[in-house]
Amino acid sequence: MSRIGKKPVELPSGVTASVSGQTVEVKGPKGARTFKATDDIAISVEDNVITVTPRGKSKRARQQWGMSRTMIANLVTGVTNGFKRELEINGVGYRAQMQGNTLKLNLGLSHDVDFTAPDGVTVTAPKQTEIVVEGIDEQLVGQVAANIRAWRAPEPYKGKGIKYKDEYIFRKEGKKK
């Protein structure tokens, strides 16, 4: 039995959900999101609560049960609070700044990196060494943050590069004489 799938998803005030077939649409103050579930599960909405149940006893139905419940919970979180990833830049001369909708990164490369955020995601640079990625789609926010981090991933000797704010960089000792 899925422990995650058993828990119902409660809808906060100001959020509405509708189910048509296997598609769940959630609307809230930050926008609207949809999720299409597989045929292995049944979704129902009653009294501001979304319930997910498996349609059979197969392994796939039980796998989809917990995953679908989590995806629906992420839709609700996204349209109410949104998602946020914070990145930190470490290194001499490394910095970030916004120019319109474009993030300009100076990362010690022979050229500056211009990064344009996709629709549905806002990228800001409150300080020269901080980048904040926000949006209502958790997967898209995480992917944009990973794409920015990929330009200069942190290295283990000095810790230079772009890292997540809560990430720990395992440091290595350098060469010895």
The secondary structure of 134-169 as a DSSP string is EES-HHHHHHHHHHHHHTSPPPTTT--EEEETTPPP
pLDDT exceeds cutoff 70 at 2? no
pTM as predicted:
0.87
Q: Do domains 3-80 and 83-164 have the same CATH topology?
A: yes
Give tens-digit pLDDT for 103-150: 999 999 899 999 999 999 999 999 999 999 999 999 999 999 999 999
**Domain 3-80, what fold?**
Outer Surface Protein A; domain 3 (3.90.930)
Could you say which architecture CATH assigns to the domain 83-164? Alpha-Beta Complex (3.90)
Q: What is the pLDDT of residue 177?
A: 80
* Closest listed residue to residue 2, CA positions, set 41, 37, 44: 41
Torsion (CA) 137, 140, 142, 146 in degrees, nearest 10:
-170
Where in the chain are the domains?
3-80, 83-164
Element containing residue 102 per DSSP (H, E): strand 102-106
Rounded to whole angstroms, how far apart are CA atoms 124 and 53? 40
Confidence band, pLDDT 50/70/90 cuts, at residue 3: confident
